[in-house]
Amino acid sequence: MRADRDWVFCCGMTRFRFAPIPAGLPATVPFTGPETLERRRGAPFRARLGANENGFGPSPKAVEAMARAAAEVWKYGDPDSHDLRHALAAHHGVAPENIMLGEGVDGLLGLLVRLMVAPGEAVVTSEGAYPTFKYHVAGFGGRLSKVSYRDDAEDPDALIAATRETGARLVYLANPDNPMGSWHEGARIEAMLDDLPEGSLLVLDEAYAEFAPVLAIPRIDPEDARVIRFRTFSKAYAMAGMRIGYAIGPAELIAGFDRIRNHFGISRTAQIGALAALEDQDWLGHVQAQTAAARARIAGIAADNGLSALPSATNFVTIDCGRDGAFARALLEALASEGIFVRMPGVAPLDRCIRVSCGPEAELSAFAEALPRALAALA
């Protein structure tokens, strides 16, 4: 009894005894939301360009479909997401059994870690890569092993070497990458699979795939037991607020999600909206063109201010500020004081950069006006 009490007090708790793994974790979240930042500053942002949301908006057909569905929000969503699952299978040329829907890629990553990683087992990722994956690994007691980026891109060779060294169950790679916007050709990902140790699983995050060149997308059999892929409706389909994403993988692995997932976690409205968005590929093409134009616009703004835009295959542009992380962080704060919400990578040497999401011209114009003032304030 005393041991329990001592354990409670050493964890800074006086009333509630958390389980050992969460008790040892900091009270944090992977990202601070723009709404939180607006409350702190006491004013809304003029330009919301930090969360890689798609400011060009969802398909009007998806909006209409969700509006029609609003009167029936009293209904739970289909726990099997049958219609959407089958439509996605047809879209990707796979079987419905190869598709699993979830509450965005974030939710599915958490389920995958819970399904595959026992406390203490190794997981490999890159230092500075998408932090939500690391958040889930820590939350379920996995042991993280991290490698460095190389030339502002995730390093497949280093990831494979770390996987061999640690015997990792999972190895995470985003292609295209967040936060740098870089990408590898699909053939490089295919070669990585050939080098993957037996018993390890590549977690291939393709959230930005719709913005990437065709050469960046690997040709992978959905039944390939070495990899599971993740896609989302949050980015190109502009439905981040509906929280809906999906995994593509071997049927046996996909069926495993049914053991632990929240079967009613995706709303009926989200399913209906995503299905309408998927069917409106013309709108997707419109968004892709708008995004490409916005990437060029952001690169031009950076150049006008003596900064360098990195090549991007996403709906954001990472801008090299040419200094260190302290300077980039100060610039981020100066832009926030101008009402411009952007973000930055979290670790050196990536943190010499800021990251600006593509958005409508009015918001990019606000960024263009604010950036020279923010830089001047730091001079």
From the list 220, 231, 230, the residue with the least C-alpha distance to 196 is 220
CATH 3.90.1150.10-classified regions of the chain: 34-56+282-378
Average pLDDT of the segment spanning 301-316 = 98
**pLDDT at residue 6 is higher than 50:** no
CATH 3.40.640.10-classified regions of the chain: 60-279
pTM value > 0.85: yes
Looking at domain 60-279, its CATH class is alpha beta
> ω into residue 20 within 30 of 0, thus cis?
no
Q: Is 53 helix (H, G, I), strand (E, B) or coil?
A: coil
What does the alpha-carbon distance between residue 364 and residue 344 come to, in Å, rounded to a whole number? 17
The one-letter amino acid code at 8 reads V
Looking at domain 34-56+282-378, its CATH class is alpha beta
What does the alpha-carbon distance between residue 92 and residue 97 come to, in Å, rounded to a whole number? 12
**pLDDT at residue 73 is higher than 50:** yes
For 193-252, what is each residue's pLDDT tens digit? 999 999 999 999 999 999 999 999 999 999 999 999 999 999 999 999 999 999 999 999
Average pLDDT of the segment spanning 322-340 = 97
**pLDDT at residue 368 is higher than 50:** yes
Q: Is 80 helix (H, G, I), strand (E, B) or coil?
A: coil
Q: Is 151 helix (H, G, I), strand (E, B) or coil?
A: coil
Percent of the chain scored above 90 by pLDDT? 93
Copy the structure tokens of residue 72. 């029936």
